[in-house]
Amino acid sequence: MKIDVKENIKISLESIKSHLLRTTLTVLIIAFGITALVGILTSIDAIEYFFTKELSMMGANSFSINNRDMQITINGHRTRPRENRVISYDQAKQFKERYPVNAWISTHVDGTWNATVKYGSEKSHPNVNVKGIDTDYIFTSGETIAEGRNFTDQDIFSGQHVVIIGHDIKETLFKNNEDPLDKIITVGPGKYKVIGVLKEKGSSFGFSGDRSVWLPINNVRQFFARPNMNYRISVLPKDETDANAAIGEAIGLFRVIRDDKPGQDDSFAVLKSDNISNMLIENLRYISWAAVFIGSITLIGAAIGLMNIMLVSVTERTREIGIRKALGATSKMIRSQFLIESVVISQIGGFVGIIFGIIIGNLVSFQIGSTFIVPWLWIVLGVTVCVIVALLAGILPAVKAAKLDPIESLRYE
């Protein structure tokens, strides 16, 4: 006799309806496991996309020169990054003048990270980053000016009291959609005219200008001076220049400027934008494994719960099994019926879990300013895992049901 899959699915749904509360609890256990799995992995996909997008805005070949390495660790031991003597303004200036590759080269420095910005009766929290920049920084930073203009060479050279503010600063100081351009604001001890507003970018692991104000670099050198100010250099080649060649030219030139002796290690660090991205994404794999582990533990519990409900179902439907066998149903058909019922229950839980997982993952995505993610790979994984859970949980009850003696089953009360 041929196994009727549709009929078995219909019987499975009727059984689910007759034991709705018990089945619902099992479905929810499976759904929680799949939600944890799909939700976390979708969030990680969104974060990876965000990292790649943010750093690609600075150019695939862009790199920066700093006095210290960057060390990012999430799991395992942490090693202290090597820190060299600071990069002086004269060294950064020499590099910009002598670098032979056609590129945007910006010199920038942090004035302070705890400034308060004021306009009239409004003021910000004392956590504003004051950054001194030159005209090329807008290109190497990946930021965009939404209103107003960039600094001019004259602004930089003479250290004019002009400022470009981040989006959060605009929202804090200028209420009721007031136009901030040409307004005079107080930044730390000085007063500055607003000439530009940066486009909102959201949190961007240190690269966002939303809570920053930009001043001409010579202004910061004068009014935010401190001993051993460390300058950073960012380079973005204008042509399709080989990244390694451009970096090689930069290292060779800066070793001469820093007077590094032959055989001596570089007294500075070159950080490539995609290296930072790869480093961050690499460490996200540990979170992926954690998500799989958490989801697996929940799904093991779901498998146990599903097996329990199927064993109880076999006991409660003993007479039904006897009647079906008396009417000609084979052991194979009975076994298939209970396996299909197990798969149906697990797939309902998987479907619910996938939907909630996608919603939770994309809430994280929207929160960090990433895009809407449909995690097809994790959806397929979720469906596959549910089938495996169903087969593992259903095979024992199915075999038990198939082995029931029809005569004994008909006499069962």
How does pLDDT run across 265-309, given as a tens digit for each residue?
Answer: 888 988 876 666 666 666 677 777 777 777 777 777 777 777 777
pTM: 0.61
Number of DSSP helices (H) and strands (E) in the chain, helices first? 13, 12
**Residues whose CB falls within 8 Å of the CB of residue 160, separated by 6 or more in sequence, listed in order:** 154, 216, 219
Q: For residues 51 and 280, is the Cβ–Cβ distance under 8 A?
A: yes
Phi, psi of 215 (to 5 degrees): -120, 155
Q: How far apart are CA 239 and CA 242, in angstroms?
A: 9
Phi, psi of 405 (to 5 degrees): -75, 130
In DSSP terms, 145 is beta-bridged to 198
Q: How far apart are CA 184 and CA 215, in angstroms?
A: 13
Give pLDDT, residue 409: 61
Neighbours of 43 (CB within 10 A): 25
Q: How far apart are CA 245 and CA 262, in angstroms?
A: 20
For helices 20-56 and 273-316, angle between their N-to-C axes, nearest 10 degrees: 170
Q: How far apart are CA 236 and CA 354, in angstroms?
A: 42
Q: How far apart are CA 365 and CA 43, in angstroms?
A: 6
Question: Average pLDDT, whole number, for the chain?
Answer: 81
The mean-pLDDT minimum among 178-182, 272-276, 286-290, 354-358 falls in 272-276
pLDDT band at 117 (very low <50, low <70, confident <90, very high): very high
pLDDT tens column, 10-61: 777 777 777 777 778 778 878 887 887 788 788 878 877 776 666 655 555 6
Q: Sort residue 159 into left (φ over 0), alpha (ψ -120 to 50) or beta.
A: left
The two structure tokens encoding residue 406 = 């029809």
